[in-house]
Amino acid sequence: MNIDTIKNGYVIDHITSGNAMKIYDLLELGTLNCQVAIITNAKSKKMKVKDIIKVGKLIELDMDKLAYIDPNITINVVKNDKIIDKKNLILPEKLVNVCKCNNPRCITSTEKELDQIFILTDKSTNTYRCMYCESKLK
């Protein structure tokens, strides 16, 4: 298998195995006009097995979405064939329009223009609750 290095872009590394496609869909990477490589079940000394995504363009990445899916991700920023920055993620205190509330009685079910806002209520279990109805995010 041959996956070229990237000149400018990102290497999203240390993704928990199986989460790469969730990230691909949530960040809408399929709409980009550049190369995007998804490597699944790659061997890792640290994790035993991991996923990796390479994006061949410097774009605006939503770090909150990435951290929500997998807070252990590292993001390598590549410019001119060199890693210029390495970012580690932390769980955001608030998620806005990342997910939808599952409670059919929540005001966001009827008032479609309202932002879907979830607040981190328990860091130890990565639990988020709807700001309006306090339903637990699944």
- Look at residue 2 in the predicted model and tell me its pLDDT: 58
Quick one: which H or E segment has residue 51? strand 48-55
Determine the Cα–Cα distance for residues 49 and 21; give it in Å rounded to an integer: 15
Give alpha helix (H) positions in 27-124.
63-69, 107-110
**pLDDT-based confidence at 66, cuts 50/70/90?**
very high
Same-domain pairing of 106 and 84: no
pLDDT digits (tens, 9 = 90+) for 14-25: 999 999 999 999
Domain that holds residue 61: 9-88
Pair 83, 15 in one domain: yes
Total domain count, the chain: 2
Q: What is the CATH number of the domain that holds 52?
A: 3.30.70.140
d(CA 122, CA 102): 19
3-state secondary structure of 78: strand
| Residues 28 and 46 placed together within one structural domain of the fold | yes
C-alpha 104/C-alpha 68 separation (Å) is 23
Whether 26 and 78 share a structural domain: yes
d(CA 45, CA 16): 13
Identify whether residues 73 and 103 lie together within a single domain.
no
Question: What distance in Å separates the CA atoms of residue 95 and residue 65, rounded to the nearest whole number?
Answer: 8
- In the structure encoding, which two tokens stand for residue 99, read together? 């997910």
CA–CA dist 39, 131 (Å, integer): 36
Cβ neighbours of 105 (radius 10 Å): 9
Name the token pair of 74.
Answer: 């590292």
Average pLDDT of the segment spanning 21-46 = 92
What is the value of pTM for the model shown? Answer: 0.83
Q: Is 63 helix (H, G, I), strand (E, B) or coil?
A: helix
Same domain, 48 and 75: yes
Question: Max Cα separation, the chain?
Answer: 51
Q: Summarize pLDDT for 84-128 with one digit per residue, the tens.
A: 999 999 999 999 999 999 999 999 988 989 999 999 999 889 899
